[in-house]
Amino acid sequence: MRVFAFSAVLLFGIAALGGCESESSTSDDGRNVERAALDTLRITNAWVRPAPEGGVTALYLELHNRRATADTLMRVETPVSSRTELHTTVLHSDGTTGMRPLNNGLAVPTDTTTTLRPGGPHVMVYDVQPALVIGDSVRVTLHFGDLMHTVTAHVRPTPPQ
């Protein structure tokens, strides 16, 4: 009987912890978003480069918008930083590259995959606390026009294959 009770408690604990890694979405006012919205706006391959404590890094991911309407990624939050900015990479007339903030957000057209990547649009993460080490993972909340989506980004030096 003790083995059964212990097994039941262990199984319940594992099931509860398993839910900690799932993606979730809510509207910006805290309401749950219908499953259909989740199924049509997906975030995959989220990763962030390693960074020392107090350093700056970048976050990358893929946004798959299968919704009937276009959307806009307005801002990104993570518990490892009090400041993030959406940026894009630009080529200057002298051949050098630089970054430009996307103050009005990042357009995510309908029926497309928008990739945040090195050399393209990305999220800058400032004043990282604590240091991000290869193998760590970070919770990231993306705020769109009408919903929020929380995912886990893995700390790695290069994009996932």
> In the structure, what pLDDT confidence band is assigned to residue 38 with cuts at 50, 70 and 90?
low
Domain total in the chain: 1
**pTM of this structure:** 0.77
Q: Which domain holds residue 125?
A: 25-155
The yes-or-no verdict on residue 28 having pLDDT over 50 is no
DSSP codes, 84-124:
EEEEEEEE-TTS-EEEEE-TT-EEE-TTEEEEE-TTSSEEE
- Mean pLDDT across 79-106: 96
pLDDT of residue 3: 44
Count CB neighbours of 45 within 10 A.
Answer: 16
3, part of any domain: no
- At 12 the three-state DSSP class reads helix
Name the pairing type of β-strands 57-65 and 122-126: antiparallel
103, part of any domain: yes
User: What is the DSSP-derived secondary structure letter of residue 21?
Assistant: G
CATH code (residue 112)? 2.60.40.1890
